[in-house]
């Protein structure tokens, strides 16, 4: 697999990473530990060197899974994890106090079975802690050798420069996909100016862009999508127009909708590294196949023109969680 450099930093990773959250959290029951380890190691065998996790994904369970999976090849991979929620639970609100950041770092190092965190993100901006204080704490952790790079997740255009002025930000992680294109107008220009990489999560729209979710699909209560407005019955029905459009483009080009969606992201900037997640080996291999796809300028114009014809219905977060993004 090709590699990419995250902004102006020295951090190079596989062009497509693996979001590990769904193996332990967010989309129903956690996978069997052996199955999760097998999937992560298969991703590595296919060229993936960038793995994303967080304390908040199963209260540390996802970090433990990833740590065990990559232990044999630790020096060949880049691990990203996150701090920023009280007791590692998003339902309890944000907490980026310096003491808490340090506690999360030390606990993550143990769970990940490692002596350093390659990329340490603030999961969500904490309005009660100045960004300069957050960045300064991570700067100290970098000086101590516990962390190598600093990142932000879902931060807004005001917070990013403030953090970057204290400790250079290597990457911003936020949602970005064919059905959430807002970052192109807001944060991408800021990242370009400051030399910061971009790591889109949910590049397949939480599974929607694969075409596997129909108008009548329902979700279990332990599936995050059950509370997301964009996955309400009415929105699912309305948003099938996007799936149909994407399927048509993919068929014409001999690709799958998922591959088109990921290839589109890769074509936006050379410092963008999407991290699709999956629990299935066949989906993993399908996603990684996008690395071999080069969309031409004409292809991108065709896709963008088609997207302008489709209105997406529903917010990407319920109100309480929507308040945590873009700050």
Q: What is the dihedral of CA 108, 113, 118, 121, to 10 degrees?
A: -20
Question: Residue 88, by phi and psi: left (phi above 0), alpha (psi -120 to 50) or beta?
Answer: left
Two structure tokens written together for 31 = 């996978």
Q: Does residue 116 come out as left (phi exceeding 0), alpha (psi in the -120 to 50 range) or beta? A: beta
Question: 160 near 196, Cβ under 8 Å?
Answer: yes
Which residues, in sequence order, are CB contacts of 294 under 8 Å at separation 6+? Answer: 263, 267
Taking residues 57-78, report their average pLDDT.
97
Residue 41 makes CB contacts below 8 A (sequence gap 6+) with 69, 70
The confidence score (pLDDT) of residue 323 equals: 84
Per-domain boundaries in the chain: 3-322
Q: 122-146: per-residue pLDDT in tens? A: 999 999 999 999 999 999 999 999 9
Torsion, Cα of 9, 13, 15, 18 (10° steps): -120
Q: Indicate the Cα dihedral angle 26, 148, 125, 62, nearest 10°.
A: 10
pTM: 0.96
Cβ neighbors of 140 (< 8 A, separation 6 or more) are: none
CA-to-CA distance for 88 and 103, rounded, in angstroms? 11
Residue listed under structure tokens 């700050």 = 327
Helix (H) or strand (E) holding 263: helix 257-268
d(CA 25, CA 59): 9
Two tokens, residue 311: 């209105």
* Confidence class for position 318, pLDDT limits 50, 70, 90: confident
User: Given 27, 57, 121, 176, which residue is catalytic?
Assistant: 57
pLDDT digits (tens, 9 = 90+) for 188-241: 999 999 999 999 999 999 999 999 999 999 999 999 999 999 999 999 999 999
pLDDT bin (cut points 50, 70, 90) of residue 309 is confident
317 has catalytic annotation? no
Q: Which fold has domain 3-322?
A: TIM Barrel (3.20.20)
Report the relative pairing of strands 147-153 and 197-201 from DSSP bridges: unpaired
CA distance 324 to 94: 9
Residue whose pair of structure tokens reads 């960004």 in the numeric block: 131
Res. 32 pLDDT band, cuts 50 70 90: very high
DSSP string of 118-138, one letter each residue: EEEEESS--TTS-HHHHHHHH
């Amino acid at each position: 697999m090709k590699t990419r450099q995250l902004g102006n930093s020295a951090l190079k990773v596989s062009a497509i990473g693996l979001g590990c959250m769904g193996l332990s959290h967010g989309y129903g029951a956690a996978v069997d530990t052996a199955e999760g380890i097998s999937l992560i190691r298969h991703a590595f065998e296919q060229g993936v060197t960038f793995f994303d996790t967080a304390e908040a994904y199963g209260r540390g369970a996802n970090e433990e899974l990833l740590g065990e999976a990559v232990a044999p090849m630790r020096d060949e991979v880049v691990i990203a994890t996150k701090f920023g929620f009280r007791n590692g639970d998003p339902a309890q609100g944000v907490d980026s106090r310096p003491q808490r950041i340090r506690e999360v770092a030390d606990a993550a190092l143990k769970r990940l079975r490692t002596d350093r965190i390659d990329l340490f993100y603030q999961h969500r901006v904490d309005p009660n802690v100045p960004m300069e204080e957050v960045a300064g704490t991570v700067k100290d952790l970098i000086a101590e050798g516990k962390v190598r790079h600093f990142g932000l997740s879902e931060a807004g255009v005001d917070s990013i420069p403030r953090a970057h002025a204290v400790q250079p930000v290597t990457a911003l992680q936020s949602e970005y996909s064919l059905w959430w294109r807002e970052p192109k107008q807001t944060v991408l220009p800021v990242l370009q100016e400051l030399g910061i990489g971009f790591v889109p999560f949910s590049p397949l729209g939480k599974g929607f862009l694969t075409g596997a979710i129909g108008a009548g699909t329902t979700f279990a209560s332990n599936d995050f999508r059950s509370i997301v407005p964009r996955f309400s019955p009415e929105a699912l029905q309305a948003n099938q127009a996007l799936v149909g459009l994407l399927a048509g483009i993919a068929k014409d080009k001999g690709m799958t909708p998922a591959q088109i969606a990921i290839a589109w992201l890769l074509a936006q900037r050379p410092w963008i590294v999407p991290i699709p997640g999956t629990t299935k080996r066949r989906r993993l291999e399908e996603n990684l196949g996008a690395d071999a796809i080069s969309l031409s300028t004409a292809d991108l114009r065709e896709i963008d023109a088609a997207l302008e014809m489709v209105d997406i219905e529903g917010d990407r977060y319920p109100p309480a969680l929507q308040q945590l993004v873009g700050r």
